[in-house]
DNA sequence: CCAATTTAGATTGGCGTCAAACTATTTTGC
DNA sequence: GCAAAATAGTTTGACGCCAATCTAAATTGG
């Protein structure tokens, strides 16, 4: 392969590396990662003041939609380890956004419920997440967004779901 | 009682109520995350025996394509923190896959080069990554793969690059 | 019925990542 | 020319995640 010596003599401040990315742009995984980073950064920025991450937000959504759900069910649904879910719920419970209650049928499990305070916050978060999505997808039409989701869902995931 | 393989008798663990996912499936970010997880799992499985992760592989590709590149340039190109790059290079250098050399023009920077051993390994890794991509994208035609990349690249990323 | 196995949640340890602070060096600006 | 600011690499600390392990409880199977 021909080497590309960087012969540019430019002031350091204006030096634009513009590295040769090699085979990386040929990989779908690479572009997936870049998109993921961009989305996560906007998400983090949007929800930083609320102490929320995609994982925490997802957990609150699932608890609200499935009152009494267990931690293990959540972990499986959202692809987090059970041990990770412990600290997520610890955090949310510590902020009085969700509560662990005793299960009526299985004393091993915690039945999780959203609190009034949690439901109130979640309503605001849902509006914010809509704005977030609108922001990151501004350049895509409704058809293109649906197409993107459709293509993403056809990425092989026999290990998951 | 005659013993028969009753496929409907599944362990208690398989009692999956199939949670209501609420608004999550409406979010592109959610589907992006699922695809990312699936891709990463296959990648990790493929490269586990080689002690490689997407980040380490990407760094090796970039060093090979840009001999003498600095750690900071790499970090910027691949969206890792400079401090993270230190340990990545430490690891690769510890395995004699890359080397830090003194820069001719800036004594602050390390000029990074791939070693013969690193180049040899990288050649194998590139074949593996092709197979990995083929596996995760098996359900997509060439046109659909290009379309997916095209859509991913149009996700807003003004924060990046 | 009851011992063995499985399951749920929690604890601990390891790894990867980022951010802040530190040192050495380079660049900037007066 | 030289002091101030910026930059490169490193170290340290924090956080999120997973894997292994532990305890209590439920389920299974003889």
Q: Does residue B61 fall inside a structural domain?
A: yes
If DSSP codes are grouped into helix, strand and coil, which group holds residue B155?
A: coil
Q: Integer distance in angstroms from the first to the last C-alpha of chain B?
A: 68
User: pLDDT exceeding 70 applies to what percent of chain A?
Assistant: 86
Q: How far apart are CA B80 and CA B60, in angstroms?
A: 14
Q: Count Cβ neighbours within 10 Å for each residue of A97-131 and write b for 16 or more, e otherwise.
A: bbbbeeeeeeeebbbbbbbeebeebbeebbebbee
Per-residue confidence at B10, pLDDT binned at 50, 70, 90?
A: very low
Q: Does residue A157 carry a pLDDT above 90?
A: no
Shortest CA distance to B110 belongs to which of B102, B99, B118?
B102
Residues 69-88 in B having a C-beta less than 7 A from any atom of strand C are 79-84, 87-88
What is the average pLDDT value for chain B, to the nearest integer? 88
Q: Does residue A2 fall inside a structural domain?
A: no
| Token reading at B8 | 């409907």
> Does the beta-carbon distance from A133 to B28 stay under 8 Å?
yes
Q: Does residue B56 fall inside a structural domain?
A: yes
A55-114 residue pLDDT tens: 999 999 999 999 999 999 999 999 999 999 999 999 999 999 999 999 999 999 999 999
SS (H, E, C) A1-60: CCCCCCCCCCCHHHCCCCCCCCCHHHCHHHHHHHHHHHHHHHHHHHHHHHCCCHHHHHHH
Task: Evaluate whether A103 touches A97 at the Cβ level (below 8 Å).
Answer: no
Q: Does residue B136 fall inside a structural domain?
A: yes
CATH code where residue B77 lies: 1.10.10.10
- Please tell me which residue lies nearest to nucleotide D26, judged from CA to C1': A106
Which nucleotide across the nucleic acid strands is nearest to A85, CA versus C1'?
Answer: C9
pLDDT for the residue numbered B18: 82
In this complex, the answer to whether residue B58 has its CB under 7 A from any atom of chain C, a nucleic strand, is no
Q: Does residue B72 fall inside a structural domain?
A: yes
pLDDT for the residue numbered B17: 57
In this complex, the answer to whether residue A105 has its CB under 7 A from any atom of chain C, a nucleic strand, is no
Q: How far apart are CA A29 and CA A82, in angstroms?
A: 27
pLDDT for the residue numbered A156: 80
Containing structural domain, residue B104: 49-150
Q: Å from B160 to nearest chain A CA?
A: 7
> How many independent structural domains does chain B possess?
1
B41-84 residue pLDDT tens: 999 999 999 999 999 999 999 999 999 999 999 999 999 999 99
Q: Does residue B63 fall inside a structural domain?
A: yes
> Does the beta-carbon distance from A160 to B32 stay under 8 Å?
no
Nearest CA in chain A to B41: A159
Q: Does residue A21 fall inside a structural domain?
A: no
In this complex, the answer to whether residue A70 has its CB under 7 A from any atom of chain C, a nucleic strand, is yes
Q: Does residue A5 fall inside a structural domain?
A: no
A115-155 residue pLDDT tens: 999 999 999 999 999 999 999 999 999 999 999 999 999 99
B112-139 residue pLDDT tens: 999 999 999 999 999 999 999 999 999 9
In this complex, the answer to whether residue A153 has its CB under 7 A from any atom of chain D, a nucleic strand, is no
B76-111 residue pLDDT tens: 999 999 999 999 999 999 999 999 999 999 999 999
Of A39, A62, A152, Cβ closest to residue B21: A62
More confident residue, A39 or B4: A39
Of A27, A76, A159, Cβ closest to residue B133: A27
């Amino acid at each position: 392969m021909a080497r590309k010596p960087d012969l540019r003599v430019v002031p350091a401040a204006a030096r634009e590396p513009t590295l040769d990315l090699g085979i990386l742009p040929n990989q779908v995984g690479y572009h997936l990662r870049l998109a993921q980073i961009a989305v996560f950064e906007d998400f983090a920025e949007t929800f930083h003041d609320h102490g929320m991450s995609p994982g925490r937000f997802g957990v609150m959504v699932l608890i609200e939609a499935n009152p009494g759900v267990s931690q293990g069910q959540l972990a499986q649904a959202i692809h987090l380890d059970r041990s990770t879910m412990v600290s997520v719920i610890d955090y949310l419970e510590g902020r009085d956004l969700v509560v662990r209650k005793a299960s009526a049928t299985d004393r091993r499990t915690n039945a999780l419920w959203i609190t009034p305070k949690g439901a109130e916050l979640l309503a605001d978060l849902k509006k914010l997440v809509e704005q977030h999505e609108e922001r990151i997808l501004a350049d895509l039409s409704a058809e293109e967004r649906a197409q993107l989701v459709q293509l993403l869902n056809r990425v092989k995931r026999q290990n998951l779901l």
